[in-house]
Structure 1
Amino acid sequence: MRPIRKDSMTALGYNFITSEYIPEGKDEYYCRNEQNGNKTYRQLKPNEIQLLIANHNLSDNWKNVMVTDTFNPSFVRNCNFYGLVRIGDLEEFFLEYHDMRFPVGLYNSTIVSCDLGNNVSLNNVNYISHYIVGNESILFNISELQVSNHAKFGNGILIKGEAESLRIWMEVSNENGGRRILPFDGMLTSDAFLWSKYRNDAELMERFVELTESKFQRQRGIYGTIGEQCVLKNCQIIKDVKIGDAAYIKGANKLKNLTINSNFESPTQIGEGVELVNGIIGYGCKIFYGVKAVRFSLGNNSSLKYGARLINSILGENSTISCCEVLNCLIYPGHEQHHNNSFLIAATIFGQSNIAAGATIGSNHNSRANDGEIVAGRGFWPGLCVSLKHNSKFAAFTLLAKGSYPAELNISLPFSLVSINERDDVLQIIPAYWWMYNMYALARNSWKYSVRDTRVIRYQEYEYDYLAPDTVEEIFEALHMLEKWILDDQLRKNEIESAANNGNKTGKEILLNKKIKQIEILGGVIEASSRKSIILKPSAAYESYHEMIHYFAMKTIIDHAKTHKLADLQQIYSRLHHGKRSKWINIGGQIITENHIQELKNNIKSGLIKNWDQVHEYYQYQRRFYEQQKAEYAFAALLDLHNIVNFDGLSIHWNQLIERSVEIAKKIRSRTFDSRNKDYMNEFRKLPYDNQEEMEAVLGKINDNEFIKTIESDYEKFVVGVEKYRIVPKIISL
């Protein structure tokens, strides 16, 4: 414990920056003056000082209390001033917020070396030190509000004179710190992914530190700021916190070393019992009711509620965590976790995800050490009471049925349902389960995250569609794996009689021409266990994967043709045929080709990209070309899927490809309706209701469902759009 230091009262409020850290020709207020602009203040008049003293105010030196011309000393009572205090206009107004009315002025407060904006209301602020407070802000019942001369406001930088050991890191994705990154105001989940993923590139890691260090001022003596029209009330400790405009903070226990981004279009709110330390909070965030967060970053438009614990973690934009515990995680935008008895530890989750009650994802209690990780593609949905073991990896839109999974898993088949058959002691997987049996939930996943993306501040645009280049490329890989596994399985079972008779038979032919009920896979391939894994309904899944690729390709191509007013197949081919399939990487919700990620890394290392703003400009640049790149990829995927090599081959089959896409679109429409309609037709679902009218009053009529209407509209638009590009046979007159 540090001993209490005793000093002269004449030093209170002064020497905020010690002499060795003050540049030549500057004074201890130079940072403050740069922050607060060139505002005009004057010294107090004798009659004003007399009135202030009569109103039980105290100052160590009234010459250091500076005011504007529109200053009314009647609105300053029972206050103590130390150091240089500058006060803006005080006029005969009150400020109202949520039915509470606060008189403009300074009352019952101790103010140390602060700049106070026009018509602020400070009441019962026991101690405020080295803050710049914006116009018309309300500060009411605050125990401690101060800034140290080495404040970093949550950024992972070092102030001049500080040792490296004082740097704040965030240990994301892994509890051993091997993927640690430096937090900074403006950091995107894409930045965090690049930093945490490519650890083998030492030069890139060094550059990331340099980019972060260069982003911020590192001199001592930066003042804390509270923006305009903020409301801070009934709070205990606020230290080294930077607060944007229009923020609402009430009943917080402790806020320390934070940047709280907020503005009038996207205000941030922090509520009762909250304790936040070492963090960056995005615009439009809501943090309420006993939340504890330490070493964290919260993306724009996200929420922490009801006792959630977020430690050494990044939560992406448009996400909500309630009640539960999240440690050492990197979570992409669009994450939902609402249950007190669930936790998520040492994981990288690619967004559009939902963690059910009782799920224990990534506990090191079922592993030998704290260096394990969970990596899950977007759409990850572990069901009730799912327990997983490090290290495990999951393809996009993996659904895990209730159960304790005792061994590491490598689920590389997207859109799968994974479950444990306890009777036979096998792991079971139904590939393409969402597509075949729960189309409503699958399609609605993409729709709802798009609709809920109400960000006003948008640094990056995200891919929410469940069929996109990243997931489609996973589907292609899944097709190859199914083909290989069916051959391996049937060879083991001697169902392929001999190489002479069946040597040319491929896995594709077997899956398409034979109704295979299941594929057995030996232990150690999908699960780190000696027990077998079973692929159920492989033929149906194989066909479904083909449908998904075909529909994605045709829809993307036709949408592109409509957007760019392409007249016919010839123009489509001319515009898109140069594209090739490639690997796409989901970096923080935006998907970019692997080649372009490599280009970005090279540009950072070479110095061509000099700061984080330019990194973000690169994301935006790639986004501008995404629609074209996506269409080129879709065209290449269509050709690969159907083994078409040139325009002549494509034109011969083009009308059939159109008809097939319409059939699939019709299937999507009907399956979406049917999977939702089950909730209306199932007799057990009807048990709470005495009649149909009561059920519809509670659930609404299915035909009034907004999402069902959206799917119907999308189907009609697709059919109309695709028919415009049908090749009409030429009629040759005799």
Structure 2
Amino acid sequence: MNKISRHPLSTLGYKFIDPKYLPEGADEYYLRNKQNRTKTVFRNLNASEIEQLVRNQNQADDWNKIFVSDAFNPELVKNCKFFGLVRIGKLEPFFLEYHNLRMPVGLYNSHIISCDIGDNVIIDNVNYLSHYIIGDEVVLVNINEMSTTSHAKFGNGIVKEGESEEVRIWLELCNENGGRKVAPFSGMLPGDAWMWSRHRTDTLFQSKLLEFTQNEFDVKRGYYGKVGNRCIIKNTLIIKDVWFGSDAYIKGANKLKNLTIHSTANASTQIGESCELVNGIVSEGCTIFYGVKAVRFLMAAQSQLKYGARLINSYLGSNATISCCEVLNSLIFPSHEQHHNNSFLCAALIQGQSNMAAGATVGSNHNSRGADGEIIAGRGFWPGLCVSLKHNSRLATFTIVAKGDYPAELDIPLPFSLISNDVTHDELVVMPAYWFQYNMYALSRNAWKYKARDKRIEKFQRLEFDFLAPDSMVEVLQSIPLMEELCGRAYFNKYPTEQEQSIQSIKQKGKELLSSKAPVVRELDVFASGWENSKRKIRVIKIIEAYTQFKQLIQYYPVYCLTEYYSQADLKDEKFLQDITQNLPAPDKWINLGGQLVPKQSMDQLIADVKEGVINSWKELHDRYKVFGNAYEEAKTKHAFAIAFSDNGINPVEFNMVQFQQMLEDSKIFRQSMSENIYTSRKKDYDNPFRNMVYADEKERDAVLGALEDNGFIQTEKKETETFIQQIDQLLMDL
């Protein structure tokens, strides 16, 4: 039976805050007055104004509780019912227009309970408007219900006074069993979500982060909902406990409940038809349209949900787009693309710059006895058409997975790899360095594209979009001895000796064969182990090409960093070179902190500072992110040299100008080859007869696709390569 209670009509609009939660000497409006920062001076209605309001079919439980500004015009208030304390700003006789919606300023045909209303607002046919503070030039039209409760949390994972811990909202990220849950909060960055979802055994650290969130907001009851200046909300059914920033545009939504919707004049958020959003945070600049369903979620700045997408118990990073499909229990770093109705993502940590094709199912937990599996994919994850992956799986940076139903869990350590499921031979096939050999165009263009599309207004975290970065290059460095061992084992399997080989001798043989590009390597069957949870073979192909590419990449990387970050520096200055190449960190692991790359040592120090009370709030923690960002260019460059020295066995103290000159010369060759590969990998599409057959001739093809020579990215890349080579030539002349 529905429990319906009866109260005197005279109390409607009053006692918003239970008296037991009111501070001594405070009335129920004390928080409302704190929230409303208007400078408008309000006054009581005069007798003629009340007479005019009554003539216009308006009603009030007490006209003395209606306060207005001096510029109030009673002619612009018609057929409204007022209860409780209502304050109304100026109303002037003109109309507002937005996207061809033209309506006169004023309050019409609405039921208004205890609200503050700004200047020149339009409220028309709002059946129930309760406990909101409404900004200037706001348009509210055709809304069934718009109300705020005294215990509203606006999507934040906090507990108000008098509430039990059970009501706290959690996001159950990365794992369906809730073991990595985090409490969302307004302003939560992807780095915050990642850090909180990890380190689960460090109870002090976990408790500190929850404490930061709880302390971020006032837990007193009685805060009103707010609608920022110039918001447009029309044709919407239910709005409950929602805080709107300025300039938001809401049209045709079904239900918005327990939300903070950030929006600004420079980054307006828009929510469209048939959307239902419950228990979430929407950051500035987001767009949500056409039947989206989102529950227990957080959308970072400039992200999009469209065309029936479902986002549940998940964090969607900035500059990301999800259309049509379903995403559950996932933590997604910035610049993720997922556009297809039949793709599914569940219980995953996707570390950015990712793209999921149609039919991709990254979410099969049914190979476990419980729904507790996880997938971790490094930056640049790209599952192709109809890919099905099993939990648990772990994939290195810039892994592309070819079409197929992968029967077992994967653990792929080699970056830039193409993973294939060879059903005919019942083998898993891994091609490392695939991108550099076959699709440099896509690899380079994506880095450029993601950087260009970063529309964040406040860049608290310095996001890395380049494929040449500490996370990927550490994996490249670690791949070198791994490939040497695989090659050495393959050789001795084909040509066994009487004497048993040590690991060191196996690696040495592999290094010898790969470094010399020995023809015998192409005759070897190179197999890995432990990369798939099955008994079938794991074949590694194109290993000479990958080894050569990775070795060249390691030598090019520090020169690239120098030209990228120190283009104005005097590189012939030996002191500068010493500063960059001395006292280097170990070529150690870096942490992908929500798209921002941070040395593990710095990350460990941050955690220690949180636990020891050096960092005491999310603001202070975000300030540390900025410190990391300011130090990134130098740290990345030093790390690049550390990787190069480690691979070549160079003692940094002994590094000299001769070696530096050789590194510069090699970098020119490698950069030129990269540029040529970018062009040729795109040119293949123009030379393919099966792609050309749908066009009458080359002119029509170029009219539809654009001429290859006019490709803006290729032109930019060619110019940048020419500039790079000229810069290196000039430097070599000066040395």
TM-score range, shorter chain: over 0.9
Root mean square deviation, CA, Å = 1.6
SS at match of 1:86: strand
Letter in 2 for 1:556: C
Deviations 1:422-470 (A, max 9, x none): 1110000000000111100111110110111122232322000000111
**Aligned residue in 2 for 1:34:** 34
For 1:732, the equivalent position in structure 2 comes to none
Match of residue 193 from structure 1: 194
Judge which range, 553-562 or 273-282, deviates more: 553-562
Q: Select 1:643's aligned residue among 645, 649, 663.
A: 649
CA distance in structure 2 between the aligned counterparts of 1:555 and 1:380, rounded to whole angstroms: 24
Whether contact under 8 Å (1:131, 1:224) holds in the other structure is yes
**What is the CA distance between 1:497 and its match in structure 2?**
5.9
Give matches, 1:578-657, under 5 Å.
578-580=583-585, 581-646=587-652, 649-657=655-663
Alpha-carbon distance between aligned partners in 1 of 2:692 and 2:528, rounded to the nearest angstrom: 43
Residue number among 515, 528, 542 corresponding to 1:512 in the alignment: 515
Q: Is the 8 A contact 1:519 1:538 kept in 2?
A: no
Counterpart CA distance in 1 for 2:646 and 2:726 is 26
The 1:78/1:325 distance shift into structure 2, 3 A limit, reads same
Give the match for residue 314 of structure 2.
Answer: 313
In the alignment, residue 25 of structure 1 is paired with which amino acid?
G
The correspondence of residues 331-370 of structure 1 with structure 2, limited to 5 A, is 331-370=332-371
State which drifts further: 670-679 or 507-516: 507-516
For 1:530, the equivalent position in structure 2 comes to 535
Counting only pairs closer than 5 Å after superposition, residues 319-334 of structure 1 correspond to structure 2 as: 319-334=320-335
Unaligned runs of 5+ in 2: none
Cα distance in structure 2, aligned partners of 1:473 and 1:284: 34
* Corresponding residue number in structure 1 for 2:679: 673
Alpha-carbon distance in 1 for matches of 2:462, 2:547: 32
Give distance in 2, aligned partners of 1:306 and 1:331. Answer: 19
Q: Given residue 276 of structure 1, which amino acid in structure 2 is its aligned partner?
A: L
Task: Give deviations 1:197-230, integer Å, cap 9, x for gaps.
Answer: 1111111000000000000011100000000000
User: Which residue number in structure 1 is paired with residue 664 of structure 2?
Assistant: 658
The one-character-per-residue Cα deviations of 1:635-666 (angstroms, maximum 9, x if unpaired) are 22222232222465532333222221111001
What is aligned with 1:5?
5
The answer on whether the counterparts of 2:250 and 2:272 sit within 8 Å (CA) in structure 1 is: yes
| Structure 1 residue ranges, 4+ long, deviating more than 6 angstroms after superposition | none
CA distance in 2, matches of 1:503, 1:475: 22
Other structure's SS at 1:680 match? helix
Report the CA distance shift for 1:20/1:374 in structure 2 as closer, same or farther (over 3 A). Answer: same
1:720 aligns with 2:721: no
1:330-729 alignment runs, 5 A limit = 330-495=331-496, 498=499, 503=505, 505-513=508-516, 514-515=518-519, 516-517=521-522, 519-521=525-527, 523=529, 525-569=530-574, 571-580=576-585, 581-646=587-652, 649-726=655-732
- Hey, what's the Cα distance between the residues in 2 that align with 1:154 and 1:683? 54
| Contact 1:479/1:545 (8 A) holds in 2 | yes
1:569 deviates by 4.8
Report if aligned partners of 1:283, 1:457 keep a CA contact under 8 Å in 2.
Answer: no
Q: 1:92/1:565 Cα in 2 relative to 1: closer, same or farther (>3 Å)? A: farther
Q: CA deviation at 1:559?
A: 3.4
Q: Can you list the C-alpha shifts for 1:396-424, whole angstroms capped at 9, x where unaligned?
A: 00000000001000011000000011111
Q: 1:267: how far off?
A: 0.4
For 2:674, the aligned partner's letter is I
1:577/1:635 contact within 8 Å kept: no
Matched, 1:154 2:162: no
Quote how far apart the aligned CAs of 1:685 are. Answer: 1.0
Larger mean CA deviation between 626-635 and 255-264 belongs to: 626-635
Amino acid at match of 1:12: L
Q: Is the alpha carbon distance of 1:542 and 1:569 closer, same or farther for their aligned partners in structure 2, counting shifts above 3 Å?
A: farther
Tell me the SS of whatever aligns to 1:388: strand
What is the rounded CA distance, in whole Å, between the counterparts of 1:589 and 1:363 in structure 2? 26
Normalised by the length of structure 1, the TM-score is 0.97
Aligned residues: 728
**TM-score normalized by structure 2?**
0.97
Which whole-Å CA distance do the structure 2 matches of 1:447 and 1:154 have between them? 35
Give, in whole Å, the separation in 2 of the partners of 1:649 and 1:295: 54
2:8 counterpart letter in structure 1 = S
1:7-22 aligned within 5 A: 7-22=7-22
What is the CA-CA distance between 1:723 and the residue it aligns to?
2.0
Query: Equivalences for 1:154-173 in 2 at 5 Å?
Result: 154-173=155-174
Partner of 1:255: 256
Whichever residue aligns with residue 26 of structure 1, its letter is A
**Distance in structure 1 (CA, Å) of the matches to 2:347 and 2:462:** 26
- Alignment deviations for residues 269-314 of structure 1 (CA, whole Å, 9 cap, x no partner): 0000000000000100000000000000001001000000000000
Q: Which amino acid aligns with 1:512?
A: S
**For structure 1, which segment, 565-574 or 632-641, has the greater mean C-alpha deviation from structure 2 after superposition?**
565-574
Counterpart position of 2:116? 115
- Structure-2 residue corresponding to 1:139: 140
Aligned 8 A contact 2:303 2:321 in 1:
yes
CA deviation string 1:502-543 (max 9, x = no partner): 9584421122222423554365x0100011100001111111
Deviations 1:538-571 (A, max 9, x none): 1111111112222212111233442334434553
Give the Å deviation of 1:582: 2.2
